[in-house]
Amino acid sequence: MPTDEIVLTAAEARVLGSLMEKEATTPEYYPLSLNALANACNQRSNREPVMALGEEEVRQALGRLEELGLAELARAAEGRVAKYEHRLGEAFNFSRAETALLCVLLLRGPQTVGELRGRTERIYHFGEIADVSAGLQKLFERQPPLAVVLPRQPGTKEPRYAHLLSGPVEAIAAAPAMAPQPAAGPSDERIERLETSVAELQAEVAELRQRFDKLTEPAQSD
């Protein structure tokens, strides 16, 4: 599908950004089960705004992303708990810098260059602010563009940048700046990994319970 036809909802953007983030930060748990993906979408750290998506909402978002060629059911997961992965590499052939920037923009909305540099650290290391600007420039030069610089807000010194996968952002540009959330520290990262691990274990237990129930059905009927 042509990239100029991609207009993601807030839920679709959150699902896509979460898949991108977890591939980079917790590769041992990627691709993600539906339960783990819902937890990733709703986590309270590194998300602006914090959301409360149900599994059905996540499933619907995945269906739309699959139609757009941006996500799919992981082939390696066939026959086990269904797991999902993004397809950004095939759709856009991004560099690692572009991937990191787009991921954080999807998850946290409009941000300054300095915020982007700090918040992408777990995904990709930008040595200097100029490297962030260079990565943004690549997104600007895409056809159609995938990022835009927003007008400076009253009382602010730096412009913010936003992705364009959800369409024009004039309304966002006029909104008041959100209070910045602190960058995730070591404790936050450990909590995220534990939450992902628990979600995956829950999915595995649910699958084993279903298999056990099927095996015991004949015996119960006798």
- Residue 75 CA to residue 126 CA, distance in Å, equals 33
Is residue 180 in a domain? no
Domain hosting residue 85, numbered range: 7-93+185-222
Look up tokens 């690549």; give the residue: 138
**CA separation (Å) from 34 to 17, 74, 160?**
15, 12, 32
Q: What is the pLDDT of residue 215?
A: 62
**What three-state secondary structure class fits 167?**
coil
Q: Is residue 31 part of a domain?
A: yes
CA dist., res. 18 & res. 64, Å (int): 15
d(C-alpha 139, C-alpha 64), whole Å: 23
* Residue 2 belongs to some domain of the structure: no
Quick one: 129 and 144 in the same domain?
Answer: yes
Instruction: Please report, for the domain that includes residue 160, its CATH number.
Output: 1.10.10.10
Q: Which two tokens stand for residue 58?
A: 């996540």
Is residue 109 a contact partner of residue 48, using CB atoms and an 8 Å limit?
A: yes
Q: Which residues of the chain have pLDDT under 70?
A: 1-4, 76-79, 170-222
**Would you say residue 177 lies in a domain?**
no
How far, CA to CA in Å, does 164 sit from each of 129, 145, 159, 206? Answer: 22, 7, 16, 38
Res 109: pLDDT: 97
**Do residue 88 and residue 106 come from a single domain?**
no
Report the chain's terminal Cα–Cα distance, integer Å.
54
**In this structure, which amino acid lies at residue 206?**
A
Residue 179 lies in a domain: no
> Is residue 87 domain-resident?
yes
Q: Does one domain contain both 108 and 160?
A: yes
Q: pTM for the complete prediction?
A: 0.78
Rounded distance, CA 190 to CA 169, Å?
34
Bridging pattern class, strands 32-33 and 71-73: unpaired
Length of the chain: 222
Distance CA 90, CA 31 (A): 16
**What three-state secondary structure class fits 85?**
strand
Q: Are residues 102 and 137 in the same domain?
A: yes
Residue 138 belongs to some domain of the structure: yes
- Residue 82 has which token pair? 């269904």
